[in-house]
Amino acid sequence: MRKFGAVIAAAALLPILAVGPAAADPDLPSFLDTTDPAERTYIVVLDESADPETVAERHGDDPLGVYEHALTGYAADMTAADAAELLQDSDVAYVQEDQVVEAFDQDIPNGIARVFAPDNPNLQIDGQENYVPDVAIAVLDTGVDGNHPDLNVVDSVNCTSGTCVPNSATDGNGHGTHVAGSAAAIDNDLGVVGVAPGADVWNVQVLTASGSGSLAGIAAGVDYVTANAGQIGVANMSLGCQGCTDQALTQAITNSVAEGVAYAVAAGNSARDAANFFPANHPDVLTVSSMADSDGAPGGIGGPLTCRADQDDTLSTFSNFGATIDIAAPGSCITSTMPGGGYGTMSGTSMAAPHAAGGLALLAVGDAKPTDRAGVLAIYDTLTSAGNYDWNDTSGDGIHEPLLDVGDPDVFPADGETTPPQGPVASLAHSCDDTTLTCSFDGSGSAGEVTDWTWEFGDGNGGTGTTTEHTYAAEGDYTVTLTVTDDEGRTDSAQAEISVGAPDHVAPTADFSGYCYTFFYFCEVDASGSSAGDAPITSYRWDFGDGGTASGSSAWHFYSGPGTYTITLTVTDETGATGSLSKTVRL
């Protein structure tokens, strides 16, 4: 409200300063109807050197708010004629009428629709917090924005140093916040909604703002999750590395699962067999590949996606594949939460995994939360069994993984009044010598009080025991079945497709790219352009031409000084076949 008394007083005390320097009459903006006596709120933007309170005082304005950082000015109620008068003041840059801004209504992302979460009446996805699952999801990532209005972050630690310390929940990258939203964004008529809407989110930061971290930091994060296994039902790990192994982290995940924490892990984005990616290849995690969906519905008629060239209802072109994969979930062009209260679109198996984490969370609510490895493996089995095959797995690996589907109200969510399914859970591993056609089989990963292991080798022969060997009479593909029986007579079976024999082998092809900084004598190289033959690449070795070497699909190296150097990459597949490529750099 304009204060006329204040104008008079100012004029009496400071007659020379009562009116600012005169300016030429500007053309009035079209929104200013000076014949309208109604007062409205206007935003008055000043030159940066002006003082908002001084200008407001000399015009008799009572500011509703003063701006001194992002811009200089104030807001006040006044008539259009008063606003027109302000434009005569040379300290005033412009005036605009205030407008009403509303929050965008909640949108159901295609990924959430494609896993049939809105079709499940138990989840009551309707823009209201009618159903909130009693479960906590730990997000081991770059951090999570704890102030996001669409997320319920209840605990936060930073483990990047190798020691987990409490912190305010922030995310300098965006990756972790995006992951959290797909799993657990609140059903609140705002922004987006997650598969397990409104579930508690534990921010366990193991990656820096650059999106990278150490295995030691990740192990610390898993240790923190395990220490709180009584409260955390599910952990999401949208991270990993190719060709790396870590005994400590492997053991940490194994022990965490034994305490009843289910793990959803991204398969990786290299369009390769996930068997060589860690921790996606850990036997106790649920490994998730990415599929593309453009319309939130089955049928494959949605056309190409908007943010990348993927086709509707197919495997995302970047997604890893193979027998390591347990389930597929939407991961291309996924809209979810972003730091600062916003929303954005990302693609990757990193985006697919939290959809599956949300599905696991719906099976770990309340009293249904697993308390041991058998319980965790049981909800993995329930989730994959509930999946559908109404999509086109274009990987070419001959294995059609189920697509996440939480639409069955008889399965999701678990009622919270029963314990996880009881009985043994079969799990098998194998290795074969293609020269002798002899394969070794191991069923020690099976869970429960197992008393009997029965093997069918797929050629009419069988065996018994926790571990066993079998020599095949001929090369070929065989389906191996392990059936385990526990001390109460309950059974479970698992199968694996194996290939025995070594036909003419196609070696891998090495290829790499990179760039060098001449000033620092520093080069970075990336072997992601290498391709496997008919067996997965298992190792990458770099020779930088000055005696320096490195391993891994990407590497960097400092040279001692200027010169011409030959960088050689050698890739080796699981059969021992190799491929090499050399390139020359001048520093």
**Within 10 A of 168 (CB to CB), how many other CB atoms are there?**
11
Residue 154's alpha-carbon distances to 141, 279, 579, in angstroms, are: 16, 26, 50
Cβ 362 vs Cβ 406: under 8 Å: yes
Of the candidates 218, 155, 146, 208, the one whose C-alpha atom is nearest the C-alpha of residue 181 is: 146
Cβ atoms of 152 and 199 within 8 Å: the answer is yes
User: Are the C-beta atoms of residues 253 and 285 closer than 8 Å to each other?
Assistant: yes
Distance CA 293, CA 308 (A): 11
Spatial separation of the C-alpha atoms in residues 466 and 79, rounded to whole Å: 86
Rounded Cα distance between 198 and 148, Å, is: 12
Q: Is residue 474 within 8 Å of 445, Cβ to Cβ?
A: no
State the Cα–Cα distance between residues 376 and 198, nearest whole angstrom: 22
Does 350 participate in catalysis according to the annotation?
yes
Asked whether 353 and 269 are in contact (CB, 8 A), the reply is no
* Catalytic position from the list 91, 150, 171, 175: 175
Q: Strand pairing partners for 471?
A: 438
Place of tokens 């770099």: 542
Q: Are 220 and 163 in contact (CB under 8 A)?
A: yes
Active-site position among 61, 141, 284, 310: 141
Q: Is 175 a catalytic residue?
A: yes
User: Cα-flanking dihedrals φ and ψ of residue 154, to 5°?
Assistant: -110, -10
CA nearest 521: which of 582, 562, 565? 562
Catalytic residue among 290, 294, 336, 350: 350
Helix (H, G, I), strand (E, B) or coil at 182: helix
Catalytic residue positions, numbered: 141, 175, 350
